[in-house]
Chain A
């Protein structure tokens, strides 16, 4: 069981867009603009792709966008490519100086 709720899997065709949700509470996602998203390919360490809800680190494609509404954050990937197939995790800073993760979403590019 994880503190943030994500769909276990999503799938879409190349070139299309997809949105992954991440639902928390008023003590984490809803309380702070400190949601981050990570991409993890099999056998690799996660990589930061979105931080502070909407910001992209240098070098991350602008096909990745983040947003938030109330207690739910979202990651949208546009123009899907085969290399986007990976696991995606959301994370949030939470009350009490803690960090929490979602259970992860497996993205399949059909």
Chain B
């Protein structure tokens, strides 16, 4: 059974960079037709897609935060990562890593990790 696990700091200071890593188990980030992404959910609010990286390494980002986001992968460790720069309190959220099939559905989710932006 595929498993995804987020890891990274739970507290980030304003204006700094949020960095998270997702470790994939029982699956490969290089499998054809699969995409690996990040979705966040501010406390008490809805879901927001941040971006995704494909099995070829191509990246796709939410246009509303495109300028601050970078997603990369390490195929040797079967991991993919998120960097979000210049964070503010509005970036406080539970961040989920997830698997998409062909960018059309999100069929596996990590348990989520709360990241708080505060000084």
Which of A36, A47, A101 contacts B48 (CB under 8 A)? Answer: A101
Query: Could you say which of A48, A52, A102 contacts B106, with CB atoms under 8 Å apart?
Result: A48
Q: Secondary structure of the A side of the interface? A: strand
Which residues in chain B, 101-119, are within 8 Å of chain A measured between CB atoms?
Answer: 101, 103-107, 109-112
| B47-A104 in contact (CB<8A) | yes
Q: Which chain A residue has the least Cβ–Cβ distance from B52?
A: A99
Q: Contact at B46–A99, with CB atoms within 8 Å?
A: no
- Report the Cα distance A102→B46, complex, angstroms: 8
Q: A45-B109, A46-B109 are in contact. Are A101 and B47 (CB under 8 A)?
A: yes
Complex Cα distance A2/B49, Å? 11
Contact with B along A86-105 (1 / 0, CB 8 A): 00010101001111111110
* A2 and B46 in contact, given A45-B96, A98-B60, A99-B52 (Cβ under 8 angstroms): yes
Known A-B contacts A36-B104, A52-B104, A93-B103; A98 and B49 likewise in contact (beta carbons under 8 Å): yes
Q: Mark A51-76, 1 if CB is under 8 A from B, else 0.
A: 11000010000000000000000000
Our pick among A2, A34, A46 for the contact of B104 (Cβ within 8 Å) is A34
Chain A interface size range: 20 to 34
Minimum distance in angstroms from A48 CB to a CB of chain B: 5
Cα of A45 to Cα of B111 in the assembled complex, Å: 6
Q: Which of A48, A57, A89, A99 contacts B103 (CB 8 A)?
A: A99
Tell me the nearest residue of chain B to A47, going by C-beta: B109
Q: Which of B36-66 contact A (CB under 8 A)?
A: 37, 46-49, 52, 60, 62-63
Q: A36-B104, A93-B103, A93-B104 are in contact. Are A101 and B46 (CB under 8 A)?
A: yes
B residues at A contact (CB < 8 Å): 37, 46-49, 52, 60, 62-63, 96, 100-101, 103-107, 109-112
- Cβ contacts A to B, 24 pairs, < 8 Å: A32-B104, A34-B104, A34-B105, A36-B104, A36-B106, A45-B110, A45-B112, A46-B106, A48-B106, A51-B101, A51-B104, A51-B107, A52-B104, A52-B105, A57-B107, A91-B47, A93-B103, A93-B104, A98-B62, A99-B52, A99-B100, A99-B103, A104-B46, A104-B47
3 residue pairs, one from A and one from B, having the closest CB atoms: A51-B105, A45-B109, A34-B104
